Structure 1
């Protein structure tokens, strides 16, 4: 009996914290008097603009909701300022959940989090803000505890939720920030932010109900000689899509095909031909509906090489048909006589040559070379995002551009670089563009340099000096610094969860040092360029450079062979120019520092 009672007691004790963790606490309507007096019915209360107007005598800005600077002092610290002088650490486990939204063109989210147990006894509430990346729209919510509430450390597993944030346009990116109150003077480390995207139209409503998000799912490519026939599925009739287009490009040449299917013949599929394609060329093609901002489906077309057609016997004239057997007989007799006269000589020469070939092959190669084909299971080239810092000057940026051009041309990889997509960067905003590329790319390569690593550390000097320095190097400083910080957080999170880190890579050029790689990127694969081009190729395509009895050798990406290509020579020269420029700057800085010390 005592054993059964003990089991029941332990079960209840274990289930109690689990229930506390599962049951989320949602905001409640309270009066400011209840919060200030510490009534029992106002544990976790939402503060509205009407409450702010009642307490402060003015309306808060509409876009900022009920958020105000120093909310604890303004609303709770009037009688006892000491309750707002402590602080707690930033919340944990910030999550974004999508709520039901009847409007098919927008989303609604609810933010949840857990408080930190560091200083939880002094916790007075939370402030949750939402900002669109690349825009200025801001929404903010304020939640307060009553003045007499003091949470124990065991309550750090409780999940708190915000009110819904409605009306978010589909396919947009946002940053949500949860701040613990009271806010200290130095508050940089006392909030937690997370970047997320609202759902696309296809994710929320289904692909068949979204005109711009629809794309062909089934594409079949057939080749007959040099003629390529492509068949793809048509959009549902209710979307009203009447025309399509296809774009193929290879070796700097683009081929555009406009299509208007005949729906009376086939309402589900359409076939078209692509002619005048170069033999032995691998084309990257896209197909999409002929609509504004339509999603494009990418596929590859490999045009095989064919020998010239041999004339058939049916095309030979009757006189040739008679002469052909006679000519063949004469040739056969001549060959037999020639073979009889030179049989001995040829046999001896053959023995000698075979023996020499075997000896030469044994001396030159200790292992047999075999062909290692690339894997064919990837339908499209891998997508690589290159992140960098422009703080090292224009020569460094030029080297980045040449590296991207070389990888895209000769390493069968689709490169994403903000310098090549300036229009989208301007439309979305630099940070929003980088976040989207980080999410959609197969691989991310961070080119580390002295300027990038320096930007990740606290700067010395006044705020105005740092602002002037950032403006001098352009807007990329903000984007690259934030993007690298996001990548570092993703790497740390993936490492803590035991997930695969192969998506992330870091590299330096010859003029940089290994110490220029930030600490958070030392967990991923590091490469020295251009020495490790083959290792980078192996990483991108998932092929091993060595195996039992064979090894992979690609001449145009070897350490010496890449300079024989025009883009490789341009990359080598750009790295040399960047090295000269950075070396000159360092000598100039050292000389200036020495002169200033002499003057002192």
Structure 2
């Protein structure tokens, strides 16, 4: 029962850990590594057992267990269990959580897994009563855990200067590539009614390409060298083939232009060339820009993007002979003279002059130039930007309906891949609301927070698996603060309000991010999502169904406007009550 309670407590700690992924630092050569020593040496305070690893055998002997502990060498409140028999007072002091938690990768011969080692520093607060550390590795998508316990010998007392010392764990081997884990380092002892005893972080193991190089990974490999050559009206594309050890035998490519896409399956003849292959693209339109992708014919294969323009064919011709050019030239001169004479001898009454004011002429020229210089946004982005929309359900179902209609409109008319918790109830059930938001924040290109009066209102509980809005604001505010302190671009994070909300509804945690009023600023929001300028000298971006004047033309825009009116009405009725 104690083990189950401890596992539940640790999972709770992991779920509410920070989502920030720190960069891994260099290996520390001066770090203190664990020693092999017995519990007897630790309890008696002998030499050679200053910082000791506790093995499963030691734990089983101390607790009288005969089976292997599910959590490895860790037990709930290990100080009371292992050190408190001789002196219960040794485990009743407060010790603050460790600091500077880092994860380093170790060499691992297995190409499908990673080995890591965790390092940290003890806090100077309560360090004189510190008895050891407990390190836990918990996968976010599973229930299994790896745990290591390290204890100091009984008579060892650390001073405040030891807070600059770095302590290391033993290696955690066999972690599958591309997996996310929660790392927790706990200071021992852990008295009751003490919350700041641990430090957690989320980290990811490396991908196959990061560890082994993408030439060794089927899912990460893609053609790196693509050459395009035009002969007549035919485009020949040459690309490098995958290494034989990956077992890739077929490829595909598709090209798009003017809303039309052409798909081609490619089966190279390895008896002719085992390193490169060429294929032809026919029936292409002259003067047209084509956007193409090529990839291995595998599930979720990485794709190589390339572009080309079909140049008009040059028609060969021989120049006219001088015997033909001279008569043609004389004829042209004669026609010019005749026309000039006729025009100069016409009656003056037939010559009508049109006077235009200079300012009107300039205005006409500017209007004509603006019309001619309209810039249509090119559709050559490899994939639409991924946008996570965060909001509060404390403002009632009408406000939630507005958020849903906004997500549908942006996905349909703003070339954006929208992520909304209401659309992924299965993912939230599998990962948990906090882990779901942590993962989506890291995966998304942009995060848009819809601000309203209920956003920072504490609900006290979770409804329908959704995250408490106050926790969500704190989480995103922490990410914004880290990005600012690290000197990173803050354009990933945005805040927005609808017409029935006010600027004061935007939390102070989001004071540094761009803010928009919807639906007035839909064009500005589109500009930030796609990193394009709306206006340049003589040019402007033209996007249908997004401007404030015509966004209601579409069905999605009408639905959004109707939802906004319903929410405004609900807000007014709530105020009157």
TM-score band (shorter)?
Answer: 0.7 to 0.9
Quote the Cα distance in structure 1 between the aligned partners of 2:567 and 2:280: 47
Q: How far apart are 1:358 and its partner, in Å?
A: 2.2
Q: Structure 2 residue aligned with 1:145, among 146, 152, 165?
A: 152
Give the 3-state SS of the residue equivalent to 1:185 in structure 2. coil
Runs of at least 5 residues in structure 1 that lack an aligned partner in the other structure: 1-20, 315-327, 461-465, 592-600
Q: Quote the offset at 1:186 in angstroms.
A: 3.8
Q: Going by fraction, where is helix more abundant, 1 or 2?
A: 1
Q: Which residue of 1 aligns with 2:72?
A: 65
Q: Distance in 1 between matches of 2:265 and 2:518?
A: 42
Match of 2:467 among 447, 462, 477: 477
Q: Which residue, out of 120, 129, 139, partners 2:136? A: 129
Structure 1 position 126, deviation (Å): 1.5
Q: Pick from 485, 489, 493 the counterpart of residue 500 of structure 1.
A: 489
**Cα separation, partners in 2 of 1:371 and 1:253, compared to 1, 3 Å:** closer
* CA shift in 2, pair 1:348/1:289, >3 Å: same
Q: Which moved more, 1:181-190 or 1:400-409?
A: 400-409
Q: 1:453 aligns with which of 452, 456, 461?
A: 456
Distance 1:508 1:274 in 2: 49
Within 1, Cα distance between the matches of 2:422 and 2:344? 72
CA contact (8 A) 2:495 2:515 kept: yes
C-alpha distance in structure 2 between counterparts of 1:159 and 1:375, whole Å: 53
Q: How does 1:210-359 map to 2 (within 5 A)?
A: 210-219=217-226, 231-246=238-253, 256-272=263-279, 286-294=293-301, 296-297=302-303, 299=305, 348-350=352-354, 352-353=355-356, 355=358, 357-358=360-361
1:83 is the counterpart of 2:93:
no
Q: 1:526 aligns to what?
A: 515
SS of structure 2 residue aligned to 1:24: coil
2:39 corresponds to which of 32, 44, 50: 32
The alpha-carbon distance between structure 1 residues 187 and 505, as it changes in their structure 2 partners (threshold 3 A), is farther
**152-161 or 531-540, larger mean C-alpha shift:** 531-540
- 1:195 is matched with which residue? 202
Deviation at 1:349, TM superposition (A): 3.8
TM-score normalized by the length of structure 1: 0.73
Change (3 A) 1:518 1:71: farther
Q: CA deviation at 1:28?
A: 1.3
**Alignment partner, residue 23 of structure 2:** none
Query: Secondary structure of the residue that 2:393 maps to in structure 1?
Result: helix
Query: How much does 1:164 deviate?
Result: 0.8
In the alignment, the residues of structure 1 paired with residue 337 and residue 122 of structure 2 have an alpha-carbon distance, to the nearest angstrom, of 99
Counting matched residue pairs gives: 536
Could you say what secondary structure the match of 1:54 adopts?
Answer: helix
In 2, Cα distance between the equivalents of 1:573 and 1:278? 44
Going from structure 1 to structure 2, the CA distance change for 1:281 and 1:185 (only over 3 Å counts) comes to farther
Partner of 1:107: 114
Counterpart secondary structure, 2:242: coil
C-alpha displacement of 1:241: 0.5
Q: Select 2:104's aligned residue among 92, 97, 107.
A: 97
Deviation for aligned residue 1:379: 6.4
CA distance in 2, matches of 1:343, 1:229: 64
* 1:477/1:441 CA distance change after superposition, 3 Å: closer
Contact 1:388 1:452 in 2 (8 A): no
C-alpha distance in 2 between matches for 1:279 and 1:563:
38
Tell me the residue number matched to 2:321: none
Compared CA separation, residues 37 and 532, structure 1 to 2 (3 A):
farther
Please give the alpha-carbon distance, in whole angstroms, between the structure 2 residues aligned to 1:403 and 1:335: 66
The offset of 1:62, in angstroms, is 4.2
> How far apart are the structure 1 equivalents of 2:238 and 2:353?
57
Is the contact made by 1:406 and 1:571 (CA closer than 8 Å) also made in structure 2? yes
Coordinate RMSD, CA, aligned: 4.8
How far the C-alpha of 1:166 sits from its partner, in A, is 0.8
Distance 1:572 1:274 in 2: 46
User: Helix, strand or coil: the match of 2:467?
Assistant: helix
The C-alpha deviation readout for 1:49-104, integer Å capped at 9, x for no partner, is: 22222222225764411222221222222233222222222221111100111111
Find the residue that maps to 2:143 and give its secondary structure: coil
The answer to whether the Cα contact below 8 Å between 1:245 and 1:290 also exists between their aligned partners in 2 is yes
Gap change, CA 1:248 and 1:139, over 3 Å in 2: farther
Structure 1 segment 334-483 matched on structure 2, within 5 A: 348-350=352-354, 352-353=355-356, 355=358, 357-358=360-361, 360=363, 380=382, 383-389=385-391, 391=393, 396=399, 398-408=401-411, 410-411=413-414, 413=416, 415=418, 435=438, 438-449=441-452, 452-454=455-457, 460=460, 466=461, 469-470=462-463, 473-474=464-465, 476-477=466-467
Cα displacement (A) at 1:36 = 2.2
Counterpart in the other structure of 1:8: none
